[in-house]
Structure 1
Amino acid sequence: MDCFQNVNCLKGSLCCQLLLFIIWIRSFQDVMAQERWLEPIHTSSVLDLANAPTSGLFDPIEISPAVIPHNPYTSDPGAPMYPTFPTTYDPILTGKCPVNFSAISSILDKTASDCSQPLAALVGNVICCPQFSSLIHIFQGFYSINSDKLALQNSVANDCFSDIVSILSSRGANSSIPSLCTIKSSNLTGGTCPVKDVSTFEKIVNTRNLLESCSTIDPLKECCRPICQPAIMAATLQISGKLTVNDNKNVEGQVNHIDYLNGCKGVVYSYLSRKLSSESANTAFRIISACKVNKVCPLKFKEPSEVVSACQNVAAPSPSCCSSLNTYIAGIQKQMLITNKQAIICATVFGSMLRKGGVMMDVYELCDVDLKDFSIQAYGQQGCLLRSLSADVVFDNSTGFFSFTCDLSDNIAAPWPSSSSITSVSLCASEMSLPALPTSETLKNRGFKSGISDFLVSIFSFFVFSTLLY
């Protein structure tokens, strides 16, 4: 009888252990990252991330201060440095730009935050340059709001452009944003466009249609079924004296022709800036920029010869192939932050390069490569993809940190191209906005990054099996 009771006690004890173990395992699946606010005088050795989205594709998470981990070992040149935030100061102006800059202070503040000194190079393509370009358009229209002019003279443009950069720098922006964004003082002059005054502009252009098309832009439709962009292009061609964009086989002439049209397009933007509020104009210009930004991959890919050699003939997960692929992608992750749609383009471009080299198998799936792997990483494994729609970097005065919204932080599989050609990529197809969230079927093969979870499952299986032996 005592023996029987001892056995029952043993079984009860094991059942309790099993129950506790199950609860413990489940806690790994439901764990949420705890947000930790840092005092301005304290620097952390790692980046603290906020909670990941619980459902839905576009539920964002906030990353603060940024996705840049602090690197206490300055001897490592490869790791990005934790952003230090410069103090603001009074700018030194030329005194030759007759503009009351305080009237556009909010746009200047927004641009300074989006182009903040520690982040400008990392978010330049997606956040900083679109906002800086929008500021230039708005300033061009604002400069002569009480006159008939739609552009600045060259000498005044140089002085005003210098003052703009000085003001932005004094508010914490990177002073190198003109070269980073390839924007010069000549962008304020309208170039060689023949129409630079309001009266002539309004005689030539259907301004009612232009304003109706661009006053309120649908951010979800403008990129695929544009309304404002065709109206801007039509006005550009009308004031340039060109009804169509002529094909020019002379390279130098073609470049001049493009510059000519760009000058006229700047005049159209200037007119819109005069007629719309600065907030409405900025929103419209940012959405148009987002449409252009999301059409191309900004990353630079070197020839992936080592990846091709290691992955050319694989048909199953291969340690050598995945190691070579992960090493290559680790180099890509040091370049910049990109949007979720840019990540699709980048994954397709790189996959097409691999297919062209002879890699036919979907190595993204074999090696568990996700969309977020093509953007800058935190902790070496937490990728941040920016949202495809225009967003801003926000400065928190209470903490001294910048933050911005990340998207697609879940393990969204990178799409493997169907051929070595990338001409078939379309982000406007109704069936292909973004890859689907992982399902139980797609989670069956998690590649080599899921070794810890597989190991835990093995321990759990062994524990259950040993319990059943009693």
Structure 2
Amino acid sequence: MEFELAFIVILQAAFLLSLCSAEKHEDLLPKISPDASPQPFLPFIAPSPMVPFINRTTPKLSGLCSLNFSASESLIETTSYNCWLVLAPVLADVMCCPQLDATLAILLGESSKESGLLALNGTQSKHCLSDLEKILVARGASNELMKICSVRASNLTASSCPIIDVNEFESLVDASKLLVACEKVDPVKECCEQNCQNAILDAATKIALKASEPLTDNSERINDCRSVVHRWLASKLDPSRAKETLRGLTNCNVNRVCPLVFPHMRHIGNSCRDGISNQTGCCLAMENYVSHLQKQSLVTNLQALDCASTMGLKLQKLNVTKNLFSICHISLKDFSIQVASQVSGCLLPSLPSDAIFDNSTGISFTCDLNDNIPAPWPSSSSQSPASSCNKTVRIPALPAAASSQPSLYNEAVNRLVISVLSMVLLILLPLS
């Protein structure tokens, strides 16, 4: 029977040791550690209840950056929440870094209205990136943010793109066509139809070809020019619309790829190949392996679909012929970070979403679990992970309903949930 639940998980994880006496965190670790597996993420770090959720400070800025940070206060605030100190590493791929990239593009786009340029020079870019980092950290973002998202000062420059002057840009590209394609992007259809993406690529290619110096790999220059096109678009759209468009385009790429690292699966192959003589041993090997995947990252529902397909194909190459996902009851949410062994995992919606700050509950975001959708076992003819544009995929980009019913939980469950992870989980259940 389908049902709806909601978890309210408050930023009070300092209660962990006193409230989780039933199970030490070492007990959550699998007994078998696959070689080269990533360092596990144990969500047991959070501020003391006596410390404000966001300990705001006033950073000392360089005074040498031309970007108007104060005019983009709301955008910067959202970025700080998406990249909050504890959650940034596990939200990097799906929420934090896409928001940071969009913020940089919009800041530069807004600046171009005054400067007429869609990029900063090398010196200014260093000051501006440093200033932005200080502002974000002062609002609670991770001080490792630029490292986590691989952002460098050069990302604010033209890099190898030859055109940054707004007037020259608009004389080379079909500006009206670009705006029509990208002004109102359907975040679901765009990922498959790629109308805006193709218009951006066309514009980026045109301005890249104006370079006087050839590159061995012109795709690098086109990619740099793509960033310039994003800034121009941001200058022509309302900041909220620009953010929606840029985040939507990023999520098209995010949802196409499973971000998890799969260490070797030899012990699963040894236990599960052919007829599976020992189903208990086989499923134990599967559970131990999957428990390591669960410590890597929060993933979207479509990423989980790709991850299941990727893992299934790897197992088939080890002569595992049986549907282990079905035999061992592996569902899509098993590929994402788990709050604890007694509580469910979290799949983020495939549409772009943001973390939210509330004075009473702290940082929160939405999880789309769609109940327990079994992980699909790939057919023997499959050559690649499932496509997010596959019309047979029944995981919607936008959940049909959401409700919050904290009264469903007794005190013991609430205490456990409060102690484990700094987030609000809304389990959004299923669509027909």
- TM-score of the pair, normalised by structure 1: 0.74
**Aligned match of 1:127:** 95
In structure 1, distance between residues paired with 2:296 and 2:385: 26
Alignment partner of 1:234 is 2:196: no
Counterpart contact for 2:158–2:224, Cα < 8 Å? yes
Counterpart contact for 1:382–1:409, Cα < 8 Å? no
1:354 to 292, 302, 315: 315
SS in 2 for 1:253: coil
In structure 2, distance between residues paired with 1:420 and 1:273: 43
Shift of 1:34: 7.2
SS in 1 for 2:357: strand
1:97-128 deviations in Å (ceiling 9; x for gaps)? 12331101111001000000010001100000
**Aligned match of 2:43:** 80
Shift of 1:316: 7.9
SS in 2 for 1:146: helix
In structure 2, distance between residues paired with 1:191 and 1:70: 54
1:322–1:33 distance in 2 versus 1, CA, 3 Å: same
1:335 to 276, 279, 296: 296
| Counterpart code for 2:186 | D
1:393 to 341, 355, 376: 355
Shift of 1:379: 2.5
1:356–1:140 distance in 2 versus 1, CA, 3 Å: same
Shift of 1:184: 1.2
1:209–1:329 distance in 2 versus 1, CA, 3 Å: same
1:141 to 89, 106, 109: 109
1:195-238 deviations in Å (ceiling 9; x for gaps)? 11011111110000111111111111000112111111010001
In structure 1, distance between residues paired with 2:353 and 2:128: 27
In structure 2, distance between residues paired with 1:174 and 1:121: 9
Counterpart contact for 1:189–1:263, Cα < 8 Å? no
Gaps of 5+ in 1: 1-28, 48-68, 436-470
SS in 1 for 2:107: helix
> Which deviates further from its counterpart, 81-90 or 177-186?
81-90
Shift of 1:426: 2.1
Counterpart contact for 1:122–1:337, Cα < 8 Å? yes
1:111 to 79, 89, 112: 79
Counterpart contact for 2:11–2:363, Cα < 8 Å? no
Alignment partner of 1:175 is 2:136: no
1:350–1:109 distance in 2 versus 1, CA, 3 Å: same
**Aligned match of 1:384:** 346
**Aligned match of 2:390:** 429
| Counterpart code for 2:346 | C
**Aligned match of 1:164:** 132
**Aligned match of 2:246:** 285
Shift of 1:130: 0.5
In structure 2, distance between residues paired with 1:356 and 1:42: 44
| Counterpart code for 1:43 | F
Counterpart contact for 2:117–2:164, Cα < 8 Å? yes
In structure 2, distance between residues paired with 1:46 and 1:338: 30
2:15 to 20, 27, 43: 43
RMSD: 2.8
- TM-score of the pair, normalised by structure 2: 0.80
In structure 1, distance between residues paired with 2:386 and 2:11: 45
1:126-153 deviations in Å (ceiling 9; x for gaps)? 0001000101111111223213211111
> Which deviates further from its counterpart, 91-100 or 272-281?
91-100
1:418 to 359, 379, 383: 379
Gaps of 5+ in 2: 28-39, 48-52, 397-432
Shift of 1:317: 7.7
1:361-397 deviations in Å (ceiling 9; x for gaps)? 0010001000000000122251100000000011111
| Counterpart code for 1:115 | C
Shift of 1:75: 7.6
Alignment partner of 1:372 is 2:333: yes
In structure 2, distance between residues paired with 1:349 and 1:37: 31
1:297–1:321 distance in 2 versus 1, CA, 3 Å: same
Name which one, 1 or 2, has greater alpha-carbon Rg.
1
> Which deviates further from its counterpart, 30-39 or 411-420?
30-39
SS in 1 for 2:57: coil
How many corresponding residue pairs?
376
In structure 2, distance between residues paired with 1:155 and 1:208: 33
In structure 2, distance between residues paired with 1:71 and 1:211: 57
